[in-house]
């Protein structure tokens, strides 16, 4: 909470119905820079009452947003994408500061992906068609797709801007209005996006941003009878609670949860490329990636080679100040996340895995942990089964294709997987056998708004991106018109 020592920090209020307003409880939390632990801003702690006001604003705005011509909505979203491009340096700096993400990576990935997502869905606005369906000669029967209504979007801290936009852009394109709850510790980019949306011509009340605690703002949003759909990205445990909370008025729910993705390297793979991609697959964004290739499965003939090369790459990673242009890995996002990661390092050692490199905190300020590689990891160990969400690779030995599939599919998750081999039959067999929403062959980690994204099991359900998201944010309606004389 705010104290006298935080005087002088910028206060970030809620964004509701086009206006920045103070939270009804009057409380602000202190937002920290994960790289230095220094306070960077004061952020409004929204309340259930604030959520109620935001939902009412969003309900009222539905008529306005849907009353527009579809092409006009598309033009506004296009303008919003342009504004994001014009402000990309500012937004990237904000995201890097708030989440501890290396600025170079934010400029290369997060910001372009957010702009691309907006531009892509801007193009969808006037293409959300129904169909005329032939049923009987004396009736005209057709379908239309209507917006689901008010969307509650709950966003995690690992890609606040990009994942936020994966929800905001398709919902807006479909004519929905939103109340967005950014993660408590990374709210700044969402608030700025909300302002740019207004500047682009998105009417007040269409995109509301309510910052604050998951248990307060998130719970209130999920339980609110005026919310028609919840789209959530985060942990399985919170996802389970959301599913239960949303049952009250049978909200539609999409859950993008965690992962423990396998990156499978066969002996005939190009080892140089495979290990390079495996290293970035686990160390990119300090391992705080739902699709991180946290389990590296290496065939026994190349196992030692893979471990050695991976450790060498881990040691060579430039960990440091996220604002440095040549920094490739920043800190973890919070003290809590750092503790989780260090606890898992201890668990891995206790379980008998071999710590090849890393495993320690770096320095005493900022939430930095060394890129870490565990070898001799057994499939049943906790570090092989549980999501760590940090820069910790578990390298697991396998015997043959069947063994690789058994291990790869042997967790509760099923978000993504990678396969490395020169055998064209094998990679296709693996793509078929792997239980995952995305399979990468001789590459790892790409996402694109044009392809569906999501998983099943503890990785959640439903997909984001592409035309699937259009289905997520619309309800089909069947219309019968009698032609009888
Ligand atoms: P989290 O579940 O703790 O938080 C996610 C969001 O939910 C935050 O905004 C948080 O404030 C909110 N929240 C917390 N408690 C809530 C409650 N009771 N009701 C409603 N909302 C609540 O997860 P996190 O720590 O922010 O993110 C890490 C997790 O997210 C990891 O498990 C990761 O794998 C997953 N993730 C998945 C994807 C994907 O696309 N599948 C992408 C990114 C992250």
Q: Which of 257, 280, 296 is the last residue of a domain?
A: 257
Ligand 1 pocket test, candidate residues 156, 180, 468, most atoms within 8 A of CB: 156
Q: Which of 198, 231, 257 is the last residue of a domain?
A: 257
* Residue pair 373/308 in contact by the 8 Å Cβ criterion: no
Sort strands 229-233 and 150-154 into parallel, antiparallel or unpaired: parallel
Same domain, 164 and 209: yes
Structural domain includes residue 212: yes
Judgement on whether residues 80 and 168 belong to the same structural domain of the protein:
yes
What is the residue with the minimal CA distance to atom 30 of ligand 1?
Answer: 234
User: Is the same domain home to 237 and 298?
Assistant: no
Domain of residue 236 covers 4-257
Q: What does the pLDDT look like over 203-219, one tens digit per residue? A: 999 999 999 999 999 99
Ligand 1 atom, smallest distance to 159 CA: 43
DSSP 333: S
pLDDT digits 0-9 by tens, 90-135: 999 999 999 999 999 999 999 999 999 999 999 999 999 999 999 9
Nearest-CA residue for ligand 1 atom 18 is: 215
- The rounded distance, in Å, linking the Cα atoms of 393 and 89 is 32
For ligand 1, say whether the CB of 289 is within 6 Å of any of its atoms.
no
Three-state secondary-structure class, residue 395:
strand
* pTM confidence score: 0.96
Residue 366 belongs to some domain of the structure: yes
Pair 282, 246 in one domain? no
Q: Is residue 469 part of a domain?
A: no
Q: Burial letters for 391-413: b for 16+ Cβ neighbours within 10 Å, e otherwise? A: bbbbbbbbeebebbbebbeebeb
Residues 165 and 182 in one domain: yes
DSSP secondary structure code for residue 132 in this structure? B
159 in the same domain as 80: yes
Extract the tokens encoding 484: 């009888």
What are the catalytic residues?
A: 256
Check whether 449 has a pLDDT greater than 80: yes
Asked whether 157 lines ligand 1 (CB < 6 A), one says yes
Closest CA relative to residue 242, chosen from 226, 258, 264, 220: 220
Q: Which atom of ligand 1 is nearest to the CA of 259?
A: 34
Domain co-membership, 203 together with 343: no
Q: Which atom of ligand 1 is nearest to the CA of 415?
A: 41
Final residue of a domain: which of 257, 291, 312?
Answer: 257
Quick one: which of 473, 186, 137 has its CA closest to 322? 186
Q: How many domains does the chain have?
A: 2
Q: What is the pLDDT of residues 353-396, one digit of tens each?
A: 999 999 999 999 999 999 999 999 999 999 999 999 999 999 99
As a whole number of angstroms, the distance between CA 440 and CA 462 comes to: 20
- Please check whether residues 419 and 320 belong to one and the same domain: yes
Question: Residue 335 above 90 pLDDT?
Answer: yes
For residue 155, the CA-to-ligand 1 centroid distance in Å is: 7
Is the shortest distance between the CB of 181 and ligand 1 below 6 Å?
yes
On the question of pLDDT at 261 being above 80, the answer is yes
**416-420 and 252-256 beta bridge pairing:** unpaired
* CATH of residue 294: 3.40.309.10
The DSSP element (H or E) to which 53 belongs, if any, is helix 48-67
Evaluate the CA torsion angle 446, 449, 454, 460 in order and state its sign.
Answer: positive
The distance of Cα 34 from the centroid of its chain, to the nearest Å, equals 19
Burial status of residue 307 (CB atoms within 10 A of its CB: 0-12, 13-18, 19 or more): buried
Mean pLDDT (whole number) for 259-271? 98
pLDDT, tens digit, for every residue of 401-441?
999 999 999 999 999 999 999 999 999 999 999 999 999 99
191 and 296 co-located in one domain:
no
285-316 per-position pLDDT tens digit: 999 999 999 999 999 999 999 999 999 999 99
pLDDT for 77 equals: 98
In a domain, 474, yes or no: no
Which atom of ligand 1 has the smallest separation from the CA of 215?
A: 18
- Report which protein residue has its CA nearest ligand 1's atom 14: 214
Q: What is the pLDDT of residue 485?
A: 86
Q: What is the largest CA-CA distance in the chain?
A: 83
Determine, yes or no, domain membership for 345: yes
Instruction: Looking at the structure, tell me whether residues 126 and 251 fall in a common domain.
Output: yes
Confidence label for 7 from pLDDT (cuts 50, 70 and 90): confident
Average pLDDT value for residue range 7-33: 96
Rounded Cα distance between 300 and 304, Å, is 8
Q: Is residue 67 part of a domain?
A: yes
pLDDT at 8: 85
Domain contains 483:
no
pLDDT bucket at 1, cuts 50 / 70 / 90? very low
| pLDDT tens-digit series, residues 57-100 | 999 999 999 999 999 999 999 999 999 999 999 999 999 999 99
Residue whose CA is at the smallest distance from ligand 1 atom 28: 234
Residues 56 and 136 placed together within one structural domain of the fold: yes
Report the mean per-residue pLDDT for the chain: 97
- Provide the pLDDT for residue 3: 52
Beta strand extents in 149-189 (DSSP E only) = 150-154, 177-181
Q: Can you give the CATH number for the domain in which 70 is found?
A: 3.40.605.10
Q: What is the mean pLDDT of residues 220-225?
A: 98
pLDDT, tens only, 143-196: 999 999 999 999 999 999 999 999 999 999 999 999 999 999 999 999 999 999
Substitution site in 100, 155, 186, 234 for ligand 1 pocket (most atoms within 8 Å of beta carbon): 234
Q: In terms of domains, do 237 and 385 share one?
A: no
């Amino acid at each position: 909470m705010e104290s006298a020592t935080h005087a002088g920090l910028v206060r970030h209020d809620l964004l509701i119905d086009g206006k920045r307003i103070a939270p009804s409880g009057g409380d602000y939390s202190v937002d920290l820079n994960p790289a230095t632990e220094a306070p960077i801003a004061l952020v409004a702690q929204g309340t259930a009452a604030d959520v109620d006001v935001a939902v009412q604003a969003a309900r009222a705005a539905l008529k306005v947003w849907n009353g527009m011509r579809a092409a006009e909505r598309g033009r506004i979203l296009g303008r919003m994408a342009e504004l994001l491009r014009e402000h990309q340096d500012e937004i990237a700096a904000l995201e890097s500061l708030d989440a501890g993400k290396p600025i170079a990576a934010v400029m290369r990935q997060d910001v372009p992906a957010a702009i691309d997502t907006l531009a892509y869905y801007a193009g969808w606005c006037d293409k959300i068609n129904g169909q005329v369906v032939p049923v009987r000669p004396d009736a005209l029967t057709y379908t239309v797709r209507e917006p689901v209504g008010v969307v509650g979007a709950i966003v995690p801290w690992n890609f606040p801007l990009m994942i936020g936009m994966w929800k905001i852009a398709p919902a807006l394109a479909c004519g929905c209005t939103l109340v967005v709850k950014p993660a408590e510790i990374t709210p700044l980019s969402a608030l700025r996006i909300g302002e740019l949306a207004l500047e682009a011509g998105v009417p007040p009340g269409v995109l509301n941003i309510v910052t604050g605690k998951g248990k307060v703002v998130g719970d209130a949003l999920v339980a609110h009878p005026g919310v028609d759909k919840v789209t959530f990205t985060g942990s399985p445990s919170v996802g389970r609670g959301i599913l239960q909370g949303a049952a009250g008025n049978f909200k539609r729910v999409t859950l993008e949860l965690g992962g423990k993705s396998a990156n499978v390297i066969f002996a005939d793979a190009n080892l140089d490329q495979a290990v390079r991609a495996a290293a970035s697959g686990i160390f990119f964004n300090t391992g705080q990636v739902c699709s991180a290739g946290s389990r590296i499965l290496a065939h026994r003939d190349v196992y030692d080679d893979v471990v050695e090369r991976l450790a060498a790459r881990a040691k060579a990673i430039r960990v440091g100040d996220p604002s440095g242009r040549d920094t490739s890995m920043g800190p973890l996002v919070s003290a809590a996340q750092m503790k989780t990661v260090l606890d898992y390092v201890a668990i891995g050692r206790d379980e008998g895995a071999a710590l090849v490199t890393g495993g320690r905190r770096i320095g005493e300020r900022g939430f930095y942990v060394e890129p870490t590689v565990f070898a001799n990891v057994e499939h049943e160990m906790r570090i092989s089964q549980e999501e760590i969400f940090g820069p910790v690779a578990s390298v697991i030995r396998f015997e043959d294709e069947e063994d690789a599939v058994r291990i790869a599919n042997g967790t509760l998750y099923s978000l993504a997987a990678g396969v490395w081999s020169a055998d064209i039959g094998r990679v296709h067999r693996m793509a078929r056998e792997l239980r995952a929403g995305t399979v990468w062959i001789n590459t790892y980690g790409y996402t694109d708004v044009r392809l569906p994204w999501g998983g099943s099991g503890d990785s959640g359900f439903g997909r984001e991106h592409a035309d699937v998201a259009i289905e997520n944010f619309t309800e089909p309606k069947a219309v019968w018109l009698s032609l009888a004389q």
